[in-house]
Structure 1
Protein backbone atom coordinates (compact mmCIF):
# COMPACT_ATOMS: atom_id res chain seq x y z
CA UNK A 1 0.00 0.00 0.00
CA UNK A 2 1.32 3.43 -0.92
CA UNK A 3 2.22 5.77 1.89
CA UNK A 4 0.21 8.88 2.64
CA UNK A 5 3.01 10.94 1.13
CA UNK A 6 2.84 8.95 -2.10
CA UNK A 7 -0.92 9.33 -2.32
CA UNK A 8 -0.72 13.09 -1.79
CA UNK A 9 2.03 13.28 -4.43
CA UNK A 10 -0.22 11.53 -6.96
CA UNK A 11 -3.04 13.95 -6.23
CA UNK A 12 -0.69 16.91 -6.60
CA UNK A 13 0.50 15.56 -9.96
CA UNK A 14 -3.12 15.27 -11.09
CA UNK A 15 -4.22 18.70 -9.87
CA UNK A 16 -1.00 20.48 -10.78
CA UNK A 17 -1.14 22.09 -7.35
CA UNK A 18 0.24 21.58 -3.88
CA UNK A 19 -2.01 20.13 -1.20
CA UNK A 20 -2.00 22.67 1.60
CA UNK A 21 -4.18 20.94 4.15
CA UNK A 22 -6.19 17.85 5.06
CA UNK A 23 -9.11 17.47 7.44
CA UNK A 24 -10.44 14.19 8.78
CA UNK A 25 -14.12 13.56 8.10
CA UNK A 26 -15.99 11.24 10.46
CA UNK A 27 -18.77 8.81 9.69
CA UNK A 28 -16.92 6.01 7.91
CA UNK A 29 -16.18 2.72 9.64
CA UNK A 30 -14.02 1.10 6.94
CA UNK A 31 -11.82 3.62 5.13
CA UNK A 32 -10.04 6.79 6.22
CA UNK A 33 -11.94 9.81 4.90
CA UNK A 34 -10.46 13.28 4.52
CA UNK A 35 -11.10 16.59 2.86
CA UNK A 36 -7.99 17.77 1.05
CA UNK A 37 -7.42 21.37 -0.04
CA UNK A 38 -5.13 22.76 -2.71
CA UNK A 39 -3.24 26.03 -2.71
CA UNK A 40 -5.85 27.62 -4.98
CA UNK A 41 -8.62 26.72 -2.53
CA UNK A 42 -10.12 23.72 -4.30
CA UNK A 43 -11.38 20.85 -2.12
CA UNK A 44 -11.59 17.13 -2.80
CA UNK A 45 -12.80 14.10 -0.86
CA UNK A 46 -10.12 11.45 -0.29
CA UNK A 47 -10.65 7.89 0.89
CA UNK A 48 -7.66 5.67 1.73
CA UNK A 49 -6.50 2.93 4.06
CA UNK A 50 -6.83 -0.22 1.97
CA UNK A 51 -4.86 -1.88 -0.79
CA UNK A 52 -7.34 -4.12 -2.59
CA UNK A 53 -10.12 -3.72 -5.13
CA UNK A 54 -12.50 -1.94 -2.75
CA UNK A 55 -11.84 1.59 -3.99
CA UNK A 56 -11.93 0.54 -7.63
CA UNK A 57 -15.24 -1.24 -7.01
CA UNK A 58 -16.67 1.81 -5.27
CA UNK A 59 -15.57 4.05 -8.14
CA UNK A 60 -17.21 1.74 -10.68
CA UNK A 61 -20.39 1.64 -8.63
CA UNK A 62 -20.59 5.43 -8.44
CA UNK A 63 -20.04 5.69 -12.18
CA UNK A 64 -22.83 3.17 -12.78
CA UNK A 65 -25.27 5.08 -10.57
CA UNK A 66 -24.40 8.29 -12.39
CA UNK A 67 -25.54 6.73 -15.68
CA UNK A 68 -29.14 6.82 -14.48
CA UNK A 69 -28.99 10.63 -14.16
CA UNK A 70 -31.51 10.49 -11.34
CA UNK A 71 -29.94 10.98 -7.88
CA UNK A 72 -26.72 12.96 -7.49
CA UNK A 73 -23.58 10.95 -6.75
CA UNK A 74 -20.04 12.27 -6.18
CA UNK A 75 -18.00 12.42 -9.36
CA UNK A 76 -15.04 10.02 -9.45
CA UNK A 77 -11.88 12.03 -10.15
CA UNK A 78 -8.88 9.80 -9.51
CA UNK A 79 -8.31 6.34 -8.11
CA UNK A 80 -5.64 3.84 -7.27
CA UNK A 81 -5.62 0.48 -5.51
CA UNK A 82 -5.03 2.29 -2.24
CA UNK A 83 -7.11 5.47 -2.56
CA UNK A 84 -10.13 7.09 -4.16
CA UNK A 85 -10.45 10.80 -4.90
CA UNK A 86 -13.96 12.16 -5.31
CA UNK A 87 -15.69 15.44 -5.87
CA UNK A 88 -16.10 17.19 -2.51
CA UNK A 89 -19.78 17.94 -1.94
CA UNK A 90 -20.45 20.47 0.83
CA UNK A 91 -23.22 19.31 3.12
CA UNK A 92 -26.19 21.62 3.51
CA UNK A 93 -29.50 21.50 5.29
CA UNK A 94 -32.27 19.47 3.66
CA UNK A 95 -34.54 21.61 1.56
CA UNK A 96 -38.29 21.55 1.95
CA UNK A 97 -39.76 18.39 0.41
CA UNK A 98 -36.33 16.72 0.55
CA UNK A 99 -37.70 13.23 1.11
CA UNK A 100 -40.43 13.57 -1.51
CA UNK A 101 -37.80 14.54 -4.08
CA UNK A 102 -35.50 11.78 -2.87
CA UNK A 103 -38.23 9.17 -3.22
CA UNK A 104 -39.09 10.28 -6.75
CA UNK A 105 -35.44 10.41 -7.81
CA UNK A 106 -34.80 6.98 -6.34
CA UNK A 107 -37.72 5.57 -8.31
CA UNK A 108 -36.35 7.20 -11.46
CA UNK A 109 -32.95 5.62 -10.80
CA UNK A 110 -34.64 2.23 -10.62
CA UNK A 111 -35.87 2.65 -14.18
CA UNK A 112 -32.30 2.17 -15.40
CA UNK A 113 -32.15 -1.50 -16.35
CA UNK A 114 -29.86 -4.19 -17.73
CA UNK A 115 -30.23 -7.51 -19.54
CA UNK A 116 -29.16 -9.68 -16.64
CA UNK A 117 -28.90 -9.75 -12.87
CA UNK A 118 -25.64 -9.07 -11.09
CA UNK A 119 -22.80 -6.88 -12.29
CA UNK A 120 -19.69 -7.14 -14.46
CA UNK A 121 -17.49 -7.42 -11.36
CA UNK A 122 -17.75 -8.52 -7.76
CA UNK A 123 -17.62 -5.78 -5.14
CA UNK A 124 -18.27 -5.34 -1.42
CA UNK A 125 -21.20 -4.97 0.93
CA UNK A 126 -19.50 -3.15 3.78
CA UNK A 127 -16.26 -5.08 4.23
CA UNK A 128 -17.75 -8.36 2.98
CA UNK A 129 -17.21 -9.53 -0.60
CA UNK A 130 -20.40 -9.34 -2.67
CA UNK A 131 -20.45 -11.88 -5.49
CA UNK A 132 -22.13 -10.43 -8.57
CA UNK A 133 -21.09 -12.61 -11.53
CA UNK A 134 -24.13 -14.77 -12.38
CA UNK A 135 -23.79 -18.45 -13.25
CA UNK A 136 -26.29 -20.32 -15.40
CA UNK A 137 -29.89 -19.25 -14.92
CA UNK A 138 -28.89 -16.70 -12.26
CA UNK A 139 -28.42 -14.17 -15.06
CA UNK A 140 -32.14 -14.15 -15.85
CA UNK A 141 -33.77 -15.75 -12.79
CA UNK A 142 -33.92 -13.33 -9.86
CA UNK A 143 -34.92 -16.01 -7.34
CA UNK A 144 -31.94 -18.14 -8.29
CA UNK A 145 -29.54 -15.19 -8.23
CA UNK A 146 -30.77 -13.87 -4.90
CA UNK A 147 -30.82 -17.24 -3.18
CA UNK A 148 -27.36 -18.30 -4.39
CA UNK A 149 -25.38 -15.08 -4.61
CA UNK A 150 -26.90 -13.31 -1.62
CA UNK A 151 -28.54 -15.51 1.00
CA UNK A 152 -26.60 -18.76 0.64
CA UNK A 153 -23.30 -16.87 0.33
CA UNK A 154 -23.95 -15.20 3.68
CA UNK A 155 -25.16 -18.47 5.24
CA UNK A 156 -21.98 -20.30 4.21
CA UNK A 157 -19.95 -17.44 5.61
CA UNK A 158 -21.91 -17.77 8.87
CA UNK A 159 -21.07 -21.48 8.91
CA UNK A 160 -17.37 -20.67 8.61
CA UNK A 161 -17.69 -18.05 11.32
CA UNK A 162 -19.42 -20.44 13.71
CA UNK A 163 -22.85 -18.77 13.78
CA UNK A 164 -24.87 -21.40 11.88
CA UNK A 165 -26.44 -23.54 14.59
CA UNK A 166 -29.27 -26.02 14.09
CA UNK A 167 -31.96 -23.35 14.17
CA UNK A 168 -30.31 -21.27 11.45
CA UNK A 169 -29.57 -24.34 9.34
CA UNK A 170 -33.16 -25.53 9.61
CA UNK A 171 -34.46 -22.10 8.69
CA UNK A 172 -32.33 -21.92 5.56
CA UNK A 173 -33.38 -25.42 4.47
CA UNK A 174 -37.01 -24.38 4.73
CA UNK A 175 -36.26 -21.12 2.95
CA UNK A 176 -34.69 -22.92 -0.03
CA UNK A 177 -37.94 -24.88 -0.40
CA UNK A 178 -40.18 -21.83 -0.13
CA UNK A 179 -38.31 -18.92 -1.68
CA UNK A 180 -39.95 -19.28 -5.10
CA UNK A 181 -43.34 -18.92 -3.44
CA UNK A 182 -42.17 -15.95 -1.35
CA UNK A 183 -40.94 -14.01 -4.39
CA UNK A 184 -43.72 -15.08 -6.74
CA UNK A 185 -45.54 -12.15 -8.33
CA UNK A 186 -42.66 -9.70 -8.00
CA UNK A 187 -40.88 -10.54 -11.24
CA UNK A 188 -39.32 -7.50 -12.92
CA UNK A 189 -36.35 -6.83 -15.23
CA UNK A 190 -32.87 -6.37 -13.66
CA UNK A 191 -32.77 -2.87 -12.19
CA UNK A 192 -29.85 -0.70 -11.13
CA UNK A 193 -29.76 -0.62 -7.34
CA UNK A 194 -27.56 1.16 -4.82
CA UNK A 195 -27.32 -2.01 -2.77
CA UNK A 196 -26.58 -0.52 0.66
CA UNK A 197 -28.81 2.51 1.13
CA UNK A 198 -29.38 3.40 4.78
CA UNK A 199 -29.31 6.70 6.64
CA UNK A 200 -25.50 6.78 6.70
CA UNK A 201 -25.23 6.49 2.92
CA UNK A 202 -27.11 9.56 1.81
CA UNK A 203 -26.66 13.27 2.50
CA UNK A 204 -27.98 16.64 1.39
CA UNK A 205 -25.75 18.80 -0.77
CA UNK A 206 -25.11 22.54 -0.68
CA UNK A 207 -28.54 23.11 -2.29
CA UNK A 208 -30.35 20.76 0.07
CA UNK A 209 -30.71 18.10 -2.64
CA UNK A 210 -30.24 14.32 -2.08
CA UNK A 211 -26.85 12.69 -2.68
CA UNK A 212 -26.17 8.96 -2.40
CA UNK A 213 -22.74 7.60 -1.46
CA UNK A 214 -20.91 4.35 -0.59
CA UNK A 215 -22.80 1.99 -2.91
CA UNK A 216 -22.74 -1.78 -3.29
CA UNK A 217 -24.06 -1.62 -6.84
CA UNK A 218 -25.54 -4.44 -8.89
CA UNK A 219 -28.57 -5.07 -11.06
CA UNK A 220 -31.25 -6.70 -8.99
CA UNK A 221 -34.75 -6.12 -7.68
CA UNK A 222 -35.75 -2.64 -6.57
CA UNK A 223 -37.64 -4.09 -3.61
CA UNK A 224 -34.28 -5.22 -2.23
CA UNK A 225 -33.04 -1.62 -2.34
CA UNK A 226 -36.14 -0.28 -0.61
CA UNK A 227 -36.04 -2.95 2.09
CA UNK A 228 -32.49 -1.98 3.04
CA UNK A 229 -33.64 1.58 3.74
CA UNK A 230 -35.77 0.18 6.58
CA UNK A 231 -33.06 -1.80 8.36
CA UNK A 232 -32.25 0.91 10.90
CA UNK A 233 -35.62 2.57 11.35
CA UNK A 234 -36.38 3.62 7.80
CA UNK A 235 -36.67 6.96 6.04
CA UNK A 236 -39.59 9.35 6.32
CA UNK A 237 -43.04 8.25 5.17
CA UNK A 238 -42.87 10.95 2.48
CA UNK A 239 -39.96 9.13 0.83
CA UNK A 240 -41.93 5.91 0.42
CA UNK A 241 -45.17 7.63 -0.63
CA UNK A 242 -43.37 9.65 -3.31
CA UNK A 243 -41.55 6.53 -4.52
CA UNK A 244 -44.79 4.58 -4.93
CA UNK A 245 -46.48 7.51 -6.68
CA UNK A 246 -43.60 7.70 -9.14
CA UNK A 247 -43.24 3.94 -9.55
CA UNK A 248 -45.91 1.68 -7.99
CA UNK A 249 -44.72 -1.56 -6.43
CA UNK A 250 -46.13 -5.04 -7.12
CA UNK A 251 -48.69 -6.36 -4.66
CA UNK A 252 -47.15 -8.11 -1.68
CA UNK A 253 -43.98 -6.02 -1.47
CA UNK A 254 -44.39 -5.58 2.30
CA UNK A 255 -44.55 -9.37 2.72
CA UNK A 256 -41.28 -9.71 0.81
CA UNK A 257 -39.37 -7.08 2.81
CA UNK A 258 -38.07 -9.57 5.38
CA UNK A 259 -36.45 -11.79 2.76
CA UNK A 260 -34.45 -8.80 1.55
CA UNK A 261 -33.62 -7.57 5.04
CA UNK A 262 -32.26 -11.05 5.79
CA UNK A 263 -29.30 -10.56 3.45
CA UNK A 264 -28.16 -7.45 5.28
CA UNK A 265 -28.81 -8.84 8.75
CA UNK A 266 -26.80 -11.96 7.86
CA UNK A 267 -24.02 -9.67 6.64
CA UNK A 268 -24.10 -7.79 9.95
CA UNK A 269 -24.01 -11.12 11.79
CA UNK A 270 -20.88 -12.06 9.87
CA UNK A 271 -19.26 -8.65 10.29
CA UNK A 272 -20.21 -7.73 13.84
CA UNK A 273 -21.11 -10.92 15.63
CA UNK A 274 -23.85 -12.78 17.42
CA UNK A 275 -25.90 -9.74 18.48
CA UNK A 276 -27.55 -10.03 15.04
CA UNK A 277 -28.26 -13.75 15.33
CA UNK A 278 -31.70 -13.40 16.90
CA UNK A 279 -32.84 -10.92 14.28
CA UNK A 280 -31.69 -13.24 11.49
CA UNK A 281 -33.67 -16.14 12.96
CA UNK A 282 -36.79 -13.99 13.40
CA UNK A 283 -36.64 -12.86 9.78
CA UNK A 284 -36.37 -16.48 8.64
CA UNK A 285 -39.18 -17.64 10.90
CA UNK A 286 -41.50 -14.89 9.69
CA UNK A 287 -42.13 -17.05 6.59
CA UNK A 288 -42.83 -20.37 8.35
Structure 2
Protein backbone atom coordinates (compact mmCIF):
# COMPACT_ATOMS: atom_id res chain seq x y z
CA UNK A 1 0.00 0.00 0.00
CA UNK A 2 2.71 2.48 0.95
CA UNK A 3 4.42 2.03 -2.43
CA UNK A 4 1.23 3.09 -4.25
CA UNK A 5 -0.05 5.72 -1.82
CA UNK A 6 1.63 8.71 -3.46
CA UNK A 7 0.71 7.52 -6.96
CA UNK A 8 -2.95 7.16 -6.03
CA UNK A 9 -2.97 10.57 -4.37
CA UNK A 10 -1.43 12.15 -7.46
CA UNK A 11 -3.65 10.38 -10.00
CA UNK A 12 -6.89 10.97 -8.11
CA UNK A 13 -6.09 14.38 -6.64
CA UNK A 14 -6.77 13.39 -3.05
CA UNK A 15 -4.93 12.98 0.25
CA UNK A 16 -5.01 9.62 2.05
CA UNK A 17 -5.34 10.00 5.82
CA UNK A 18 -5.50 6.33 6.85
CA UNK A 19 -5.92 2.82 5.51
CA UNK A 20 -6.34 -0.75 6.71
CA UNK A 21 -6.19 -4.20 5.06
CA UNK A 22 -9.35 -6.17 4.36
CA UNK A 23 -10.41 -9.31 2.51
CA UNK A 24 -9.76 -9.15 -1.23
CA UNK A 25 -9.73 -12.79 -2.31
CA UNK A 26 -6.80 -15.05 -3.14
CA UNK A 27 -5.44 -12.99 -6.06
CA UNK A 28 -5.19 -9.42 -4.75
CA UNK A 29 -4.24 -7.61 -1.58
CA UNK A 30 -7.08 -5.30 -0.57
CA UNK A 31 -7.38 -2.17 1.54
CA UNK A 32 -9.94 0.39 2.59
CA UNK A 33 -8.49 3.88 2.68
CA UNK A 34 -9.99 7.08 4.00
CA UNK A 35 -9.16 10.58 2.76
CA UNK A 36 -8.77 13.70 4.85
CA UNK A 37 -12.30 14.74 3.88
CA UNK A 38 -13.64 11.47 5.40
CA UNK A 39 -14.44 9.67 2.13
CA UNK A 40 -13.74 5.92 2.00
CA UNK A 41 -12.48 3.95 -1.01
CA UNK A 42 -11.74 0.30 -1.74
CA UNK A 43 -8.36 -0.61 -3.25
CA UNK A 44 -7.10 -3.88 -4.73
CA UNK A 45 -3.44 -4.29 -5.62
CA UNK A 46 -1.48 -7.07 -7.29
CA UNK A 47 1.14 -7.91 -9.87
CA UNK A 48 1.02 -6.16 -13.23
CA UNK A 49 -1.46 -7.66 -15.69
CA UNK A 50 -4.58 -6.68 -17.62
CA UNK A 51 -6.77 -8.05 -14.83
CA UNK A 52 -7.80 -4.79 -13.18
CA UNK A 53 -8.53 -3.00 -16.44
CA UNK A 54 -10.69 -5.93 -17.51
CA UNK A 55 -12.45 -5.81 -14.14
CA UNK A 56 -13.17 -2.13 -14.72
CA UNK A 57 -14.67 -2.92 -18.14
CA UNK A 58 -16.82 -5.65 -16.65
CA UNK A 59 -18.15 -3.49 -13.84
CA UNK A 60 -18.93 -0.68 -16.26
CA UNK A 61 -20.88 -3.11 -18.46
CA UNK A 62 -22.85 -4.45 -15.50
CA UNK A 63 -23.55 -0.91 -14.26
CA UNK A 64 -25.88 -0.44 -17.22
CA UNK A 65 -28.31 -2.92 -15.70
CA UNK A 66 -27.55 -3.60 -12.02
CA UNK A 67 -25.90 -2.43 -8.80
CA UNK A 68 -22.08 -2.48 -8.79
CA UNK A 69 -19.39 -0.35 -7.13
CA UNK A 70 -18.24 2.65 -9.15
CA UNK A 71 -14.65 2.40 -10.41
CA UNK A 72 -12.62 5.57 -9.92
CA UNK A 73 -9.29 4.45 -11.34
CA UNK A 74 -7.69 1.30 -12.74
CA UNK A 75 -4.06 0.63 -13.63
CA UNK A 76 -2.13 -2.54 -14.47
CA UNK A 77 -1.40 -3.25 -10.81
CA UNK A 78 -4.31 -1.71 -8.87
CA UNK A 79 -7.94 -0.64 -8.99
CA UNK A 80 -9.72 1.95 -6.83
CA UNK A 81 -13.47 1.79 -6.45
CA UNK A 82 -16.39 2.81 -4.31
CA UNK A 83 -16.34 1.27 -0.84
CA UNK A 84 -19.56 -0.57 -0.01
CA UNK A 85 -20.07 -0.77 3.75
CA UNK A 86 -21.06 -4.39 4.53
CA UNK A 87 -24.34 -5.06 6.28
CA UNK A 88 -26.70 -7.90 7.08
CA UNK A 89 -29.27 -9.58 4.86
CA UNK A 90 -32.89 -8.67 5.59
CA UNK A 91 -36.07 -10.67 5.07
CA UNK A 92 -36.43 -9.82 1.37
CA UNK A 93 -32.73 -9.40 0.52
CA UNK A 94 -32.29 -12.59 -1.48
CA UNK A 95 -35.69 -12.40 -3.15
CA UNK A 96 -34.81 -8.90 -4.34
CA UNK A 97 -31.33 -10.11 -5.32
CA UNK A 98 -32.92 -12.78 -7.52
CA UNK A 99 -35.17 -10.19 -9.11
CA UNK A 100 -32.20 -7.92 -9.78
CA UNK A 101 -30.25 -10.74 -11.43
CA UNK A 102 -33.25 -11.57 -13.64
CA UNK A 103 -33.41 -7.92 -14.72
CA UNK A 104 -29.69 -8.06 -15.53
CA UNK A 105 -30.28 -11.13 -17.68
CA UNK A 106 -32.94 -9.23 -19.62
CA UNK A 107 -30.18 -6.91 -20.83
CA UNK A 108 -29.24 -8.50 -24.15
CA UNK A 109 -26.43 -8.34 -26.70
CA UNK A 110 -26.38 -9.19 -30.39
CA UNK A 111 -23.78 -11.98 -30.10
CA UNK A 112 -22.41 -14.39 -27.52
CA UNK A 113 -19.11 -13.23 -25.99
CA UNK A 114 -17.70 -9.82 -25.14
CA UNK A 115 -15.61 -7.09 -26.71
CA UNK A 116 -12.47 -8.26 -24.88
CA UNK A 117 -11.10 -11.36 -23.19
CA UNK A 118 -11.00 -11.15 -19.41
CA UNK A 119 -10.36 -13.39 -16.41
CA UNK A 120 -12.21 -15.90 -14.27
CA UNK A 121 -10.17 -15.94 -11.10
CA UNK A 122 -6.65 -15.69 -12.49
CA UNK A 123 -7.46 -17.84 -15.54
CA UNK A 124 -7.84 -16.07 -18.89
CA UNK A 125 -11.42 -16.22 -20.15
CA UNK A 126 -11.82 -16.18 -23.93
CA UNK A 127 -14.73 -14.10 -25.18
CA UNK A 128 -14.45 -14.27 -28.98
CA UNK A 129 -17.89 -13.17 -30.17
CA UNK A 130 -19.98 -15.81 -31.96
CA UNK A 131 -23.50 -16.28 -33.29
CA UNK A 132 -23.82 -19.86 -31.99
CA UNK A 133 -24.10 -20.40 -28.24
CA UNK A 134 -23.19 -24.09 -28.50
CA UNK A 135 -20.08 -23.27 -30.49
CA UNK A 136 -19.13 -20.43 -28.15
CA UNK A 137 -19.57 -22.49 -25.01
CA UNK A 138 -17.71 -25.47 -26.36
CA UNK A 139 -14.77 -23.59 -27.91
CA UNK A 140 -14.29 -20.73 -25.46
CA UNK A 141 -15.28 -22.41 -22.22
CA UNK A 142 -15.04 -26.22 -22.10
CA UNK A 143 -12.39 -26.94 -24.75
CA UNK A 144 -10.21 -24.08 -23.53
CA UNK A 145 -10.25 -25.52 -20.00
CA UNK A 146 -9.53 -29.04 -21.28
CA UNK A 147 -6.53 -27.78 -23.26
CA UNK A 148 -5.32 -25.95 -20.16
CA UNK A 149 -5.67 -29.10 -18.07
CA UNK A 150 -3.59 -30.99 -20.63
CA UNK A 151 -0.87 -28.32 -20.42
CA UNK A 152 -1.00 -28.57 -16.63
CA UNK A 153 -0.70 -32.38 -16.73
CA UNK A 154 -4.10 -32.69 -15.06
CA UNK A 155 -6.01 -34.36 -17.89
CA UNK A 156 -6.34 -38.14 -18.12
CA UNK A 157 -7.38 -40.36 -21.01
CA UNK A 158 -10.75 -40.84 -19.28
CA UNK A 159 -11.28 -37.07 -19.10
CA UNK A 160 -10.33 -36.54 -22.74
CA UNK A 161 -12.63 -39.35 -23.88
CA UNK A 162 -15.47 -37.92 -21.83
CA UNK A 163 -15.01 -34.51 -23.42
CA UNK A 164 -14.98 -36.08 -26.89
CA UNK A 165 -18.38 -37.62 -26.13
CA UNK A 166 -19.63 -34.34 -24.70
CA UNK A 167 -18.63 -32.40 -27.82
CA UNK A 168 -20.99 -34.56 -29.88
CA UNK A 169 -23.84 -34.14 -27.38
CA UNK A 170 -23.51 -30.40 -26.66
CA UNK A 171 -26.06 -29.33 -29.32
CA UNK A 172 -28.55 -31.88 -27.99
CA UNK A 173 -27.99 -30.93 -24.35
CA UNK A 174 -28.04 -27.15 -24.72
CA UNK A 175 -30.47 -26.87 -27.61
CA UNK A 176 -30.71 -23.80 -29.81
CA UNK A 177 -30.23 -20.70 -27.70
CA UNK A 178 -30.71 -17.35 -29.41
CA UNK A 179 -30.70 -14.87 -26.53
CA UNK A 180 -27.36 -13.47 -25.37
CA UNK A 181 -27.89 -12.17 -21.82
CA UNK A 182 -25.45 -10.01 -19.89
CA UNK A 183 -23.84 -12.28 -17.27
CA UNK A 184 -21.74 -11.64 -14.19
CA UNK A 185 -19.91 -14.83 -15.16
CA UNK A 186 -18.52 -15.92 -11.77
CA UNK A 187 -21.36 -15.45 -9.32
CA UNK A 188 -20.77 -17.23 -6.01
CA UNK A 189 -21.16 -16.11 -2.39
CA UNK A 190 -17.77 -14.38 -2.40
CA UNK A 191 -18.66 -12.18 -5.36
CA UNK A 192 -21.52 -10.18 -3.96
CA UNK A 193 -21.79 -7.79 -1.01
CA UNK A 194 -24.86 -7.12 1.13
CA UNK A 195 -24.84 -3.45 2.17
CA UNK A 196 -26.26 -1.77 5.29
CA UNK A 197 -29.66 -1.43 3.59
CA UNK A 198 -29.81 -5.16 2.81
CA UNK A 199 -29.20 -4.64 -0.92
CA UNK A 200 -26.88 -6.91 -2.93
CA UNK A 201 -24.00 -5.51 -5.01
CA UNK A 202 -22.12 -7.54 -7.62
CA UNK A 203 -18.30 -7.53 -7.50
CA UNK A 204 -15.36 -9.34 -9.14
CA UNK A 205 -17.10 -10.15 -12.43
CA UNK A 206 -16.05 -12.30 -15.38
CA UNK A 207 -18.47 -10.56 -17.73
CA UNK A 208 -19.73 -11.78 -21.08
CA UNK A 209 -22.99 -12.21 -22.99
CA UNK A 210 -24.25 -15.78 -22.90
CA UNK A 211 -27.18 -18.07 -22.24
CA UNK A 212 -28.54 -16.91 -18.88
CA UNK A 213 -28.63 -20.49 -17.59
CA UNK A 214 -24.81 -20.49 -17.63
CA UNK A 215 -24.91 -18.04 -14.70
CA UNK A 216 -26.44 -20.75 -12.52
CA UNK A 217 -23.51 -23.12 -13.00
CA UNK A 218 -21.52 -21.18 -10.41
CA UNK A 219 -24.53 -20.06 -8.36
CA UNK A 220 -25.48 -23.68 -7.62
CA UNK A 221 -21.97 -25.04 -7.15
CA UNK A 222 -20.89 -23.74 -3.74
CA UNK A 223 -24.09 -22.46 -2.11
CA UNK A 224 -24.76 -19.01 -0.68
CA UNK A 225 -28.13 -18.48 -2.40
CA UNK A 226 -31.35 -19.44 -0.62
CA UNK A 227 -34.73 -20.40 -2.05
CA UNK A 228 -35.89 -16.80 -1.86
CA UNK A 229 -33.26 -15.91 -4.45
CA UNK A 230 -34.67 -18.43 -6.94
CA UNK A 231 -38.23 -17.37 -6.15
CA UNK A 232 -37.39 -13.76 -6.92
CA UNK A 233 -35.57 -14.67 -10.12
CA UNK A 234 -38.47 -16.76 -11.43
CA UNK A 235 -40.96 -14.00 -10.64
CA UNK A 236 -39.20 -11.77 -13.17
CA UNK A 237 -37.65 -14.17 -15.70
CA UNK A 238 -38.73 -17.80 -15.15
CA UNK A 239 -36.10 -20.44 -15.86
CA UNK A 240 -36.93 -22.83 -18.68
CA UNK A 241 -37.94 -26.44 -18.12
CA UNK A 242 -34.95 -28.78 -17.92
CA UNK A 243 -32.48 -26.16 -16.74
CA UNK A 244 -31.34 -28.37 -13.85
CA UNK A 245 -30.00 -31.00 -16.26
CA UNK A 246 -28.28 -28.43 -18.49
CA UNK A 247 -26.83 -26.91 -15.34
CA UNK A 248 -24.39 -29.85 -15.03
CA UNK A 249 -22.67 -28.74 -18.24
CA UNK A 250 -22.45 -25.19 -16.92
CA UNK A 251 -21.05 -26.37 -13.58
CA UNK A 252 -18.40 -28.30 -15.51
CA UNK A 253 -16.75 -25.11 -16.77
CA UNK A 254 -16.24 -23.79 -13.26
CA UNK A 255 -15.08 -27.15 -11.92
CA UNK A 256 -12.54 -27.42 -14.74
CA UNK A 257 -11.33 -23.94 -13.88
CA UNK A 258 -10.94 -24.97 -10.24
CA UNK A 259 -9.05 -28.07 -11.35
CA UNK A 260 -6.65 -25.87 -13.30
CA UNK A 261 -6.32 -23.30 -10.53
CA UNK A 262 -6.16 -25.51 -7.45
CA UNK A 263 -5.13 -28.94 -8.67
CA UNK A 264 -6.16 -32.55 -8.61
CA UNK A 265 -8.42 -32.32 -5.55
CA UNK A 266 -11.19 -31.24 -7.95
CA UNK A 267 -10.66 -34.10 -10.40
CA UNK A 268 -13.23 -36.44 -8.86
CA UNK A 269 -15.93 -33.77 -8.91
CA UNK A 270 -15.05 -32.93 -12.52
CA UNK A 271 -15.45 -36.55 -13.60
CA UNK A 272 -18.70 -37.02 -11.68
CA UNK A 273 -20.20 -33.88 -13.23
CA UNK A 274 -18.99 -34.87 -16.69
CA UNK A 275 -20.70 -38.26 -16.37
CA UNK A 276 -23.93 -36.65 -15.15
CA UNK A 277 -23.79 -34.24 -18.11
CA UNK A 278 -23.64 -37.19 -20.50
CA UNK A 279 -26.42 -39.17 -18.80
Q: In which range does the TM-score fall when normalised by the shorter chain?
A: over 0.9
Are 2:109 and 2:209, in contact at CA under 8 Å, matched by a contact in 1? Answer: yes
The equivalent residue for 1:231 is 221
CA distance in 2, matches of 1:61, 1:236: 26
CA RMSD of aligned residues (A): 1.2
**Which residue of 242, 247, 250 maps to 2:232?**
242
Residue 108 of structure 2 aligns to a residue whose secondary structure is coil
| Separation in structure 2 between the aligned mates of residue 95 and residue 21 of structure 1, nearest angstrom | 31
Per the alignment, residue 21 of structure 2 pairs with: 24
In the TM superposition, residue 234 of structure 1 has moved relative to its aligned partner by: 4.8
Deviations 1:160-191 (A, max 9, x none): 11111111011001001111100115x23111
Give the Cα–Cα distance (whole angstroms) in 2 for the partners of residues 27 and 155 of structure 1: 28
- SS at 2:63 equivalent: helix
What's the TM-score once normalised by structure 2's chain length? Answer: 0.96
**Equivalence for 1:170:** 161
Is residue 56 of structure 2 the alignment partner of residue 66 of structure 1?
A: no
- Per the TM alignment, residue 20 of structure 1 is displaced from its structure 2 partner at its CA by 1.5
Q: Which residue pairs with 1:132 in the alignment?
A: 127
Matches within 5 A, 1:1-288: 4-5=1-2, 7-68=4-65, 70=66, 72-134=67-129, 139-184=130-175, 187-286=177-276, 287-288=278-279
Extract unaligned runs of 5+ from structure 1.
none
Corresponding pairs, count: 278
Please give the alpha-carbon distance, in whole angstroms, between the structure 2 residues aligned to 1:262 and 1:103. Answer: 23
- SS of alignment partner, residue 47 of structure 1: strand
> Normalized against structure 1, the TM-score is what?
0.93
Report the alpha carbon displacement of residue 6 of structure 1 after superposing the two structures with TM.
Answer: 5.2
Q: Deviations over 1:249-288 (max 9, x none)?
A: 2221111010000000000000000010011111111124
Task: Give the Cα separation in 2 of the matches to 1:168 and 1:50.
Answer: 33
Separation in 2 of the partners of 1:81 and 1:163? 30
Deviation readout 1:219-274 (Å, 9 max, x if unpaired): 01110102210111351011012111210122211110100000000000000000
**Per-residue CA distance 1:186-237 (angstroms, 9 max, x = gap):** x231110000000011111121111110000000111010221011135101
Unaligned runs of 5+ in 2: none
